[in-house]
Structure 1
Amino acid sequence: MASPKFHNSIRKYHRWLGFFLAGVITIYATSGILLIFRQTDFLKFPQTEVRQLEPGLQIESLGDNLRLKNFKVESESNDAIIFNLGQYDKSTGEAVINTIDYPKPLAKLVKLHKATHNSPLFFLNIGFGVSLLFFVVSSFLMFMPKLPFFKNGIKISIAGALFALIFVIFAS
C-alpha cells in the first residue's frame, strides 16, 4: 500500500494541474456548447466572401474549385451561375459566397473541437485528453484506500459512470 506522502504528492499535482487547466477547460467547455448549436444560427452572422477564380468555369469545375459543403446549382445563364450560397460571374471569374457563420473568435473556438491529426491544435487536444485521464486516476489516489472518502468516491464514480451509460444508451 502507498504511503500518505505519496497520496499527498498526488493531491499536490492534481491541484496544480487543475489550476493550470482551469482556463483550458473554460475554452473547451465554451466551444463544446457552441458545437451543440452548430445546426442552428445561434450566434452566427451573415458573411460574404469574394473569391477570384478562373473565368469561364463550367458547373462541375466550379463546384470543385469552391469546395463548398452541399454545393447545388440553382440556375445558369450565359454570364453567371447561381448556386445555393451565391453566384459566379463567368466573364470575370468572381465568385460571391454568402454564408452564415460564427464571428472569427468563435469560429476558432469551434475549430478547436474539430481539430484532426493534421492540425497544430492536435497536440493541445491530445494533451488535454491525457490531463483529464490523469485527473480521473489521481482523484482515486488522493485519499488512502481505507478512508471513507475513498470508498464513497468509488461509489459516486460508479454512479456517475452508470448515469452516463444509461443516458448515452437511451438518449441516442
Structure 2
Amino acid sequence: MDGVRKITFTGSTEVGHHIMRNAADRAAPVTLELGGKSPFIVFPNADIETAVESVAGVMYYNTGQSCDAPSRVFVHEDVEDEFMDAFLERTTEEVVGDPLREGTTMGPLASKAQFEKVTNYLDVGRKEGASIAAGGEIPDGEEFEDGWFVDPTVFTDASRHFSAPRR
C-alpha cells in the first residue's frame, strides 16, 4: 500500500467504511461511491431520443437487476418536459411477462427477497412524497402468478434525500 497515492472505490457502504478507516491512517485521498444508484444525467444539448433509449434500455434490461441500471435520472430543466414525455411513453411500451414469450421485454424479479425490496422502495417513495408517473403496480392475472413481477416504475418529485431501506 505504500505506493498507492489515491484510492477510488465503488461498492458497499460497509466496505467503504473499512477503506476510509485504513486510508485515514496514511492520509491517502479517497473517492467513494457507496451504495450508488447509477445516476444518469441529461444535459440541455442531449439528443433526447438517444437519452431516452439509453436510460430505458439499461434501466429495464434484466428487470433493472444489474449494477449499471440507472435508478436516478437528473434532467436539466430546459429539456425536462421533452425528456419526461418521451421517457414515460417509452416506459409504457415495456411488456411485462414471461421472458420466454415473444414480445416480452421485461420479466420477473430474480427472487422473493428482491421483489420485497423493490415493493418496499415503492412504499418508501410514496411515503416520502414522490409521485408515480408510470407503473408502480404489481401486474394482475394468471400469467403473473408464477414469478415476482412489478411494472416498470417512474417516480417524479422525489426528495434528494430519499431514505432507501438499509441492507
TM (norm. structure 1) is 0.22
Larger Rg: 1
Greater helix content: 1
